[in-house]
Amino acid sequence: MSNFTRFAWGALGYTLLVILWGALVRATGSGAGCGSHWPLCNGEVIPRAPEIETLIEFAHRITSGIALLLVLVMAIWARRAFGAGHIVRRGAVASLAFMIIEALLGAALVLFELVAHNASLTRAVSMALHLANTFLLIGAMALTAWWSGGAPAPRPGADRRRIWQLVIAAVALLFVGMSGAITALGDTLFPVEELRQGLHQNLSPFAQTLIQLRVLHPLIAVLAGCYTVVLAWSIHGAAPTGDTRRLALGLSVLYIVQLVVGSANVWLAAPVWMQLVHLLLADAVWILLVLLGAAVLAQPAARTSTAAAAGVAVPLSAD
């Protein structure tokens, strides 16, 4: 494993920790810890005599800034280490672009005061978009590390049927993640102490919009999970390479674990620590799906011909 590959995987791991810290900021209502100031904190570069909410928010800003610097270094390093047009270069540039968008979205949440106890639909939509960009960010970073380690780039002749199946799975998981972001926001703004109380809120005709929306998340997660697990097992059974088979198996097993953890999260009325575990598993599932897609797209589509039908071997590729 090259130094660049180690750095890229390390940057991804650090970014996942920053994402979890950001979820802690939301779950503890600390998003307004620095007021409506950005990039300053309560009008100061370094806040003096800060409260706990300020410490949590300020720490998140510092760690997010370090993550941005790591991705910037990765993009510059990729440009120096790989030739023009190399797939690793494109992955690193995409990672930097999504990281910048991530920072701008975070700044917008603060500047427009879509934090703390804000229960508007605008905040819910913003959180969903933030989650979608986060998924795209960690997906791009994972691909950069994956390709830099010698994994082949996608082939033009990849199986189109598989491509569409993977696209559907990716869109489905994006919707699961976005609905999960709204659900987590509802759990923060309208906490419950037990499942029965949560169900009563959900069924109440006077419930807040966020409470009503969070009913959809478990349903979306189960439906998307059934499709994703079936697709992963199908790929696992047809995969010619070890990496593809391992990724498919890992994705199917991890998604089942995620559903179990999600059920426990609902049953326990979404404690903060369980929300963080649930989010980490969601990120891991997304990364595995992205890498599985890259592995599948790197395989040439099977060619059939009259000769092949007659029992004559047809090479899949020239290399």
Mean pLDDT over each residue of the chain, to the nearest integer: 84
Give me the sign of the Cα torsion angle 18, 24, 26, 28.
negative
3-class secondary structure, 102? helix
228 to 157, 282, 291: CA distances (angstroms)? 23, 13, 14
pLDDT level of residue 100 (50, 70, 90 thresholds): very high
- By percentage, how much of the chain surpasses pLDDT 90? 50
Residues 5 and 16 in one domain: yes
| Residues 161 and 297 grouped into a single domain | yes
Host domain of residue 261: 154-301
Lowest-pLDDT range of 14-28, 92-106, 264-278, 303-317: 303-317
Average pLDDT for 141-162: 89
Number of domains in the chain: 2
Q: Give the per-residue pLDDT at 198.
A: 54
Tell me, yes or no, whether 170 and 125 share the same domain.
Answer: no
pLDDT value, residue 261: 94
Give 288 or 44, the one with higher predicted confidence. Answer: 288
Mean pLDDT across 189-213: 59
Residue-wise pLDDT for 242-263, tens only, equals 888 999 999 999 999 999 999 8
Averaged pLDDT, 228-245: 86
Q: Side-chain half-sphere of 242: how many Cα atoms within 13 Å?
A: 0
Residues 181 and 270 in one domain: yes
Identify any residues that bridge with 44 across adjacent strands, giving them in sequence order.
Answer: 41
Q: Residues 163, 29: one domain?
A: no
